[in-house]
Amino acid sequence: MSEVMLSFSGVHTHYGHIEALKGVDIEVRKGEIVTLIGSNGAGKTTLLMTTCGNPRASKGKITFEGRDITNAATHEIVRLGIAQSPEGRRIFPRMTVMENLQMGAIVSDPAHFEEDLEKAFALFPILKERQDQRGGTLSGGEQQMLAIARALMSRPRMLLLDEPSLGLAPLVVRQIFQTIKEINEKQGMTVFLVEQNAYHALKLAHRAYVMVNGEIQLSGTGDELLANDEIRAAYLEGGH
């Protein structure tokens, strides 16, 4: 079994008096795609945000490659090699695609900017066509691609994705997930994926966790969970 990259142990997070995470334990190993599924308000996004120190965990420990990052500043965490594509994509709408990608590379060595750009364009050829267009004029799917490409520009060792399928057409969702798989297989990128679209996420992931009300309820390999009756009933019935 390969080494653990990101681990959460007993992580609690509060929004004021409300406890959003109630002691979460998750491990992500090198080279894996791990997904976290759960319904609205389960605390998925909170977990990702807590990873980046905003809000901070009130209890518990988060480590990345053995280093304690529980109390590190957001921008420092990113510099350690964790790239994040935040919920709702959050691209820069008034900047061009190219400028957005440059913003992604802002903390990395400019010497390999060209090479990284080439890679990003190879993953998402549409971005190359759209490079001079303003981010805000892209379609939802293209914006999501841009958000992922931007995150990859910092040469991360780990990619955090928050609901990349949000508000996208099924065909585009499939394409995005295909690319995530490609990034994982070709570049050996470790991916931690938070999703509501359980079917696609579970099919893609090596391992998966199910979060309910701020706690991990179930875990296992993607296929195991796909076959699980409870999961089928709660997250998969009624189509995907």
Burial of 56 per CB tally in 10 Å (0-12, 13-18, 19+): middle
* 107 is an interface residue for another protein by CB under 8 A: yes
* 199 is an interface residue for another protein by CB under 8 A: no
Q: Which two tokens stand for residue 180?
A: 């995530």
* Residue of 132, 229, 237, 238 interacting with another protein (CB under 8 A): 132
| Nearest alpha carbon to residue 187 among 213, 210, 157, 164 | 157
**How many other CB atoms are found less than 10 A from the CB of residue 119?**
18
* Residue of 92, 217, 219, 220 interacting with another protein (CB under 8 A): 92
* 139 is an interface residue for another protein by CB under 8 A: no
Distance CA 171, CA 217 (A): 30
* 54 is an interface residue for another protein by CB under 8 A: yes
| Number of residues lying near another protein (CB under 8 A) | 36
Residue 34 or 52: the one with the smaller Cβ distance to another protein is 52
| Nearest alpha carbon to residue 204 among 232, 230, 175, 239 | 175
* Residue of 67, 75, 174, 240 interacting with another protein (CB under 8 A): 75
* 105 is an interface residue for another protein by CB under 8 A: yes
* β-bridge mates for residue 27, sequence order: 7
Residue 45 Cβ vs another protein, minimum distance, rounded to whole Å:
12
* 91 is an interface residue for another protein by CB under 8 A: yes
| Nearest alpha carbon to residue 120 among 95, 168, 83 | 83
- E strands in the chain: 4-15, 18-29, 33-38, 59-64, 67-68, 82-85, 158-162, 190-195, 207-212, 215-221
Residue 90 or 206: the one with the smaller Cβ distance to another protein is 90
* 95 is an interface residue for another protein by CB under 8 A: yes
* Residue of 113, 199, 218, 228 interacting with another protein (CB under 8 A): 113
* 193 is an interface residue for another protein by CB under 8 A: no
Q: Report the interface residues with another protein, using CB under 8 A.
A: 52, 54, 73-75, 78-79, 83-86, 90-96, 98-99, 102-107, 110-111, 113-114, 117, 131-132, 150-151, 154
